[in-house]
Amino acid sequence: MKKIFTAVVVVVSLALCSVAAAAVSSRLNGTYTTTVQGSTVLGGALNGTWKVKLKNGAYHVSDSGHPIVHGNYTLKGNKISLKDTGGEGKCPGTGVYKFKVSGGTITLTKVHDAAACFGRETVLTSGPLTRTS
């Protein structure tokens, strides 16, 4: 009887974790904008308004409507891991950022990312990403 009870508790716990992860993921689904100002990175080429679209584990980033990079993301707790799969701004490796959701904004803080991904870091951490849809 104890084994059955333990098995039921484990199954219910795993199901609740899956529901919680899905709730966070769907909570992040949306299109966000952020503005980079005063950056000297790449001679100021990163300055401007950026659009970041997150949907069901995939993301797309554009600058003034021009696609820059796309990839896949995973969530674990309050961390998002980003793996670029294509685009002219594609970074090597996976970047990990802490996120905080507050109302219609997401604020990201770098945990770790490749030095070559200074553009990704600049766009994601220069200010909050504001939900537009």
Does any domain span residue 40?
yes
CATH for 62 = 2.40.128
Does any domain span residue 122?
yes
Q: Report how far residue 78's alpha carbon sits from residue 100's, in angstroms, rounded to the nearest whole number.
A: 7
3-57 per-position pLDDT tens digit: 343 333 333 333 333 334 444 456 799 999 999 998 887 788 899 999 999 999 9
pTM greater than 0.95 (yes/no): no
The number of distinct structural domains making up the chain is: 1
Does any domain span residue 54?
yes
Give me 77's structure tokens.
Answer: 């707790």
Does any domain span residue 123?
yes
Question: Helix, strand, coil shares of the chain as percentages rounded to 5?
Answer: 30, 45, 25
Average pLDDT over residues 91-114: 96
Does any domain span residue 126?
yes
52-86 per-position pLDDT tens digit: 999 999 999 999 999 999 999 999 999 999 999 99
Burial of 117 (0-12, 13-18, 19+ CB in 10 A): buried
Q: Report how far residue 19's alpha carbon sits from residue 25's, in angstroms, rounded to the nearest whole number.
A: 10
Does any domain span residue 62?
yes
Q: Which pLDDT belongs to residue 38?
A: 86
Q: Report how far residue 12's alpha carbon sits from residue 17's, in angstroms, rounded to the nearest whole number.
A: 9
Does any domain span residue 18?
no
Domain enclosing residue 77, as ranges: 29-131
Does any domain span residue 68?
yes
Exposure string of 38-74, with b = 16+ CB inside 10 Å and e = fewer, is ebeeeeeebbeebbbbbeeeebbbbbeeeebbbbebe
